[in-house]
Structure 1
Amino acid sequence: MEDKPTEKRIIAQEHQLGVNDASNSNTLFNSDAAAHRLEEMGYKQELQRNLGMVSVLGLSFAIMAVPFGTSTTLNLALTDGGPVTILYGWVFVSLVSLAIASSLAEICSVFPTSGGVYYWSAMLSTPKYSAFASYLTGWLGTVGNWTVTASITFGGSQLILAAATLFHEEYVPTPWQTCLVYWAALLCSLLINIFFAKHLDKLNTICLYWTGASIIITLLAMADTRNSGKFAFSHFDASNSGWPAAWAWFVGLLQAAYTLTGYGMVASLCEEVKEPAREVPRAMVLSVAAAAVTGLVYLLPINFVLPAIEPLLAVASLQPMPLLYKTVTGSASAAMGLLFLILGIWVFATIGSLTAASRCTWAFSRDGGIPGSQWWKVVNPRFGIPINSLILSTVVCALLGLIYLGSSAAFNAFTGVATICLGCSYAFPVLCSLLRKRAAVKNAPYSLGRFGFIINTITVVWISFSIILFCMPTAIPVTPQSMNYASVVFAGFSFIAALWYAVSARKHYHGPTLSTVRTAEGVVQVK
């Protein structure tokens, strides 16, 4: 007689809690074993395993896009503290992000599947709540992937139009112009993801070199320091925010937190990596470490050459970096040259974020988590990639752009929504693991050992605090223009997810189930 879904999950969890010995870990380090392991977890191999650790590292690094991400959100840190928030906020968030990335890497090494966080939540929670935990985390992760893609693409679109003001100071981009550039960028990213899919690993590798070269050139251009060391390391001014000084510093952390948030998205590429149990966890942690160093090297010179803050915050595009470059170099052409390097990083980030978002959408659709899953879970036989999920992710991001036509403040909230959604999706499986005394990751190939409990606790506590923090407006008193609409957008997506759960998912969604499970006693259970 066929087992019920709940019974299957119990068997699955018994397997994961009981059979993680060293011999099983070693067999994960080759492509054939990875495909076999994937079959054990309930899925057949549909995507080509042609990615290595460097490529995944490049993708994670591209999504975080440190020089680009910190540049497009510079106004947040300038409003809430200036140099102190920029520098020490980056250091603080980098350390916390290392803890989060390490926690996810440990779980990923045990469950190397493109399902990522929603699969991990299902396997780590109790059987009674497995399906709901999976559904909740799946939606948080998917929405987080979509909004990260939207915010990255839109930030670059704003930056492109802001570049025009270097030569025409009277020019003010209209919402329609910004949206058109945004949609064009999404379309180009979609076409590259489809027709150059086989070359994405090369693009991700190139991103590493481009970013390094960009920072070196920027440092040389900014070599003529203007501010004192005291200013660069200790100047703090929260007068533009209206918040008490200590709270303003925390609110300004969104600049760093938004930039350092995409590392978990690369888990959705596990089924395209040759040795996912080893390479993906390493890439997650190394990408955060590399991003932390990159950020310091890029941001500290900015503190030394930072001009008056008020004119930077007054720019109509909300992108102060072009004006900063122009002020520092004294030349519109030189500023455009530096901006070109940042926009190059943006190109890699846009392509990479859409890749990750489409794979996340595809994986969640395989288990019926999204309306119309029968379309989104299809892998195109010609290109070997989930084109339908690529198109869906692009369309969702394109529709989000319409919000900007009604309110620029509303779209700016997507940076907060992306950070909150991805943070929640990261915290949930880690919390489940903690509550079950980390039994499932006891013998993980990528183990945190005796420090695991402390590192996992830091992860959960920080993300819980950041949910409240990043719903706060950047400045007070609050106006329709300065209001942080992150909570509103978050509530909107939550309503859609809850409605779909009430209408269909609660009856039909059982979460990921295993097709073949070897229990601790060696018995094979077949669905």
Structure 2
Amino acid sequence: MIALVIGLALFFVVCAAALAGAVKAQQSIKSSSHQSMTAYATYIQMQQDKHDLNLFGLAQQLRRKFGAAASFGLSFNTMGLCAAALLFLAPALQQGGPIVVGIGIPLAALFALMVSASLAELSSAIPTAGGVYHWSSALGGRVWGWHAGWFHMAGYMGLLLLTNLLCASLLDGMLAGWLGYMPSIWTKAIIALAMVVTQVALHSRGVHLLAVLLRSGLWLQLIAAVAAIGILMALYWPGVFSPELLFTLPAHSGEGKGQTTVGMLAGFLLLQKLFLGMDSAAQGAEETSDPRIRVPWAIYLSTAYTFIIGFVLLAMLTLVWPGFSNGGIPAGGSEWFAGSLLDAISRSPLVTILLVVLLYSSSSSVLIACSRLLYSLTRDKALPFSKQLEGVHPASQSPRKCVWLAAALFFVILVTSCLLIPEHLLTAAVPSFTLICLYTAYAIPIALALRAGKKHKLLVDAPWHLGRWSRMVNISALVWLLLSVVLAAIVLGKEGIIGAGAVLLVSGVLDLRYRRRHLETLQSRLNKPHGEIIRIERKFKLTE
């Protein structure tokens, strides 16, 4: 009973911390000089947003059609609550037992809130597409921005691989039952590639359709998660096990072995997938109305809501799912869970369709974030063949070439992964690689913000900030990110750190090759005359 009280107290502490941060940020917005024009006229707000972007030497080429819901949906869909629950719950329970849900998720959420608050402050100070790439460039210079951008891009490609392969696995299992063929990693790869091609076709239609898809995906994710919680409670509550199981150390695993600290750390790290991609709203900053306010709220609140809904959903699944024994460890491990899931899906095609739609929506949001990051990198000549790939399609206001580039990179990474690491692709290798790359990318601008201090002009002008709490929050977030990277490299296997090392090697080699071009582009952007910016904007008729 004491363990249950402590566990529930930890849950409410995290909720209270999220509320306190939100109140502090709202107070800073009210006391800042920033005045939102959204309530008065859309045109005036667009002119204000365009002016803020022009201050960074950037022309408004993308159409601003993302409102508060679309911006929030970009982060929330990328984090993929339902996808994370389906993919990582069973391996996490197998590794660490139910305590990784009861104690691990609240602890991860507490530090994830600190990370999201730090990133939200940066997005409010520098409202440009590119996220950590531009933040690092503005606060630390070209070299830091270059490496942060490459790690960020690699992490998002890992997220794209995870979500598409999971969706393809569900479709592959259903189609194999209907058509009578033998599923394999290559049939999953073909389905995943076909999904990406359809997503590219949708994205090429323009930002209007993307805004609708983001809003629809947001509500679909929320309704599906809440409905799942309600159905589980109605059918199974109070469940197979007592809630106290979530907050106590199991005596032994399914094979009778003692529970190890390494196993619990591995399960804890796997469930951090819940909070990967929180910064995706920043990639759509140049398409969001009033990004200095809406983007940071999207980053921060997506983390808070994912924790609250995700904790309840995963706790219910853990307590009511049959087949647990010996203190709550899954008998048969992840293979048993996956088999049970596919058996249930094969009996209900409607469930398969719903899960595929949810995962497809998450993957589509990841592709949006990837393409906007690539757009910002090609604009600054930070990629090979940038001159051929940069720019926006005038009719759709979509970076079509960068969308296709993201698909091409996905194909290369997919084939390489299937050839080199087909066995542990979804349960260890890609999650480890994604976490290491994204957390490294997040750590760079946060460390640079700490070095710059609270008197840096860009940070002072940010309307969304935590005031006196900022330094403490930034330090805690940075320590957490670095610790998580080290633990992921040690616990989840060597593939992740090898892949991250390869990213660092490639970015370093390309930096030597393209550093002069990149530096000249940045200098030209900062010194670009306002008349040239207006000339570029008129090409896209954005003053109408």
The TM-score range, normalised by the shorter chain, is: 0.7 to 0.9
Letter of the 2:74 partner, please give it.
L
Q: Is the 8 A contact 1:83 1:303 kept in 2?
A: yes
Q: Is the 8 A contact 1:41 1:514 kept in 2?
A: no
Q: Is the 8 A contact 2:174 2:346 kept in 1?
A: no
Name 1:3's counterpart in structure 2: none
Name 1:323's counterpart in structure 2: 340
Select 2:199's aligned residue among 189, 204, 218: 189
The C-alpha deviation readout for 1:404-435, integer Å capped at 9, x for no partner, is 13422463322222222111111111111111
Compute the TM-score of the two structures, normalised by the length of structure 2.
0.81
Name 1:418's counterpart in structure 2: 434
Matched, 1:496 2:506: yes
In the TM superposition, residue 376 of structure 1 has moved relative to its aligned partner by 2.3
Name 1:459's counterpart in structure 2: 477
Name 2:220's counterpart in structure 1: 210
Which has the higher mean CA deviation after the structures are superposed, 278-287 or 434-443? 434-443
Q: Is the 8 A contact 2:77 2:217 kept in 1?
A: yes
In the TM superposition, residue 310 of structure 1 has moved relative to its aligned partner by 3.1
Select 1:111's aligned residue among 118, 121, 126: 126
Matched, 1:160 2:171: yes
Select 1:350's aligned residue among 363, 374, 380: 363
In the TM superposition, residue 187 of structure 1 has moved relative to its aligned partner by 0.9
Select 1:375's aligned residue among 388, 392, 397: 388
In the TM superposition, 1:507-526 aligns within 5 A as 508-509=518-519, 512-513=522-523, 515=525
Q: Take 2:481 and 2:449, find their aligned partners in 1: how far apart are those partners?
A: 16
Letter of the 2:373 partner, please give it.
C
The change in CA–CA distance for 1:150 and 1:491 in structure 2 (over 3 A counts) is same
Select 1:229's aligned residue among 239, 243, 249: 243
The change in CA–CA distance for 1:458 and 1:156 in structure 2 (over 3 A counts) is same
Compute the TM-score of the two structures, normalised by the length of structure 1.
0.84
In the TM superposition, residue 208 of structure 1 has moved relative to its aligned partner by 2.4
Q: Between Structure 1 and Structure 2, which shows a larger proportion of helix residues? A: 2
In the TM superposition, residue 295 of structure 1 has moved relative to its aligned partner by 0.2
Matched, 1:314 2:330: no
Aligned pair count? 481
Select 2:408's aligned residue among 392, 395, 399: 395
Select 1:25's aligned residue among 27, 34, 58: 34
Q: Is the 8 A contact 2:72 2:299 kept in 1?
A: yes
The C-alpha deviation readout for 1:45-99, integer Å capped at 9, x for no partner, is 0000111111110111111110111211224302221211123221111111111
Q: Take 1:237 and 1:90, find their aligned partners in 2: how far apart are those partners?
A: 21
Name 1:363's counterpart in structure 2: 376
Q: Secondary structure at the match of 2:397?
A: coil
Q: Take 1:98 and 1:252, find their aligned partners in 2: how far apart are those partners?
A: 20
The change in CA–CA distance for 1:337 and 1:235 in structure 2 (over 3 A counts) is farther
Name 2:17's counterpart in structure 1: none
Matched, 1:140 2:162: no
RMSD over aligned Cα atoms: 3.0
Select 2:398's aligned residue among 371, 377, 385: 385
The change in CA–CA distance for 1:322 and 1:273 in structure 2 (over 3 A counts) is farther
Q: Take 1:357 and 1:60, find their aligned partners in 2: how far apart are those partners?
A: 12
Name 2:84's counterpart in structure 1: 69
Letter of the 2:465 partner, please give it.
S
Q: Is the 8 A contact 2:56 2:525 kept in 1?
A: yes
The C-alpha deviation readout for 1:444-482, integer Å capped at 9, x for no partner, is 2001111111110111001001111112344xxxxxxxx
Q: Take 1:142 and 1:366, find their aligned partners in 2: how far apart are those partners?
A: 15
Calculate percent identity across the aligned residue pairs. Answer: 21
Q: Secondary structure at the match of 1:472?
A: helix
The change in CA–CA distance for 1:23 and 1:36 in structure 2 (over 3 A counts) is farther
Letter of the 2:297 partner, please give it.
R
The change in CA–CA distance for 1:515 and 1:296 in structure 2 (over 3 A counts) is same
In the TM superposition, residue 283 of structure 1 has moved relative to its aligned partner by 0.9
In the TM superposition, residue 379 of structure 1 has moved relative to its aligned partner by 0.7
Q: Is the 8 A contact 1:40 1:517 kept in 2?
A: no
Q: Is the 8 A contact 2:123 2:296 kept in 1?
A: yes
Q: Secondary structure at the match of 2:506?
A: helix
Q: Is the 8 A contact 1:379 1:385 kept in 2?
A: yes
Q: Take 2:390 and 2:244, find their aligned partners in 1: how far apart are those partners?
A: 55
Matched, 1:485 2:499: no
Matched, 1:43 2:58: yes
Q: Take 2:481 and 2:473, find their aligned partners in 1: how far apart are those partners?
A: 13
Select 2:72's aligned residue among 52, 57, 67: 57
Q: Take 1:280 and 1:205, find their aligned partners in 2: how far apart are those partners?
A: 15
Name 1:12's counterpart in structure 2: none
Q: Secondary structure at the match of 1:25?
A: coil
Which has the higher mean CA deviation after the structures are superposed, 444-453 or 115-124? 115-124
In the TM superposition, residue 164 of structure 1 has moved relative to its aligned partner by 6.0
Q: Could you list the runs of 5+ residues in structure 2 that have no partner in the other structure?
A: 1-28, 39-44, 325-329, 534-544
The change in CA–CA distance for 1:516 and 1:28 in structure 2 (over 3 A counts) is farther
Which has the higher mean CA deviation after the structures are superposed, 391-400 or 189-198? 189-198
Q: Is the 8 A contact 2:206 2:398 kept in 1?
A: no
Name 1:10's counterpart in structure 2: none
Q: Take 1:58 and 1:192, find their aligned partners in 2: how far apart are those partners?
A: 17
Q: Could you list the runs of 5+ residues in structure 1 that have no partner in the other structure?
A: 1-19, 475-482, 519-523
Q: Secondary structure at the match of 2:509?
A: helix
Q: Take 1:350 and 1:57, find their aligned partners in 2: how far apart are those partners?
A: 15
Q: Take 1:321 and 1:91, find their aligned partners in 2: how far apart are those partners?
A: 25
Q: Is the 8 A contact 2:381 2:517 kept in 1?
A: no
Q: Is the 8 A contact 2:284 2:372 kept in 1?
A: yes
Select 1:262's aligned residue among 259, 264, 277: 277
Matched, 1:469 2:502: no
Q: Secondary structure at the match of 1:262?
A: coil
The C-alpha deviation readout for 1:218-277, integer Å capped at 9, x for no partner, is 234433122233334435367479896333222212232222111112211110011111
In the TM superposition, residue 382 of structure 1 has moved relative to its aligned partner by 2.3
Q: Take 2:464 and 2:501, find their aligned partners in 1: how far apart are those partners?
A: 36
Q: Is the 8 A contact 1:122 1:134 kept in 2?
A: yes
In the TM superposition, residue 515 of structure 1 has moved relative to its aligned partner by 4.8
Q: Is the 8 A contact 1:42 1:513 kept in 2?
A: no
Letter of the 1:146 partner, please give it.
M
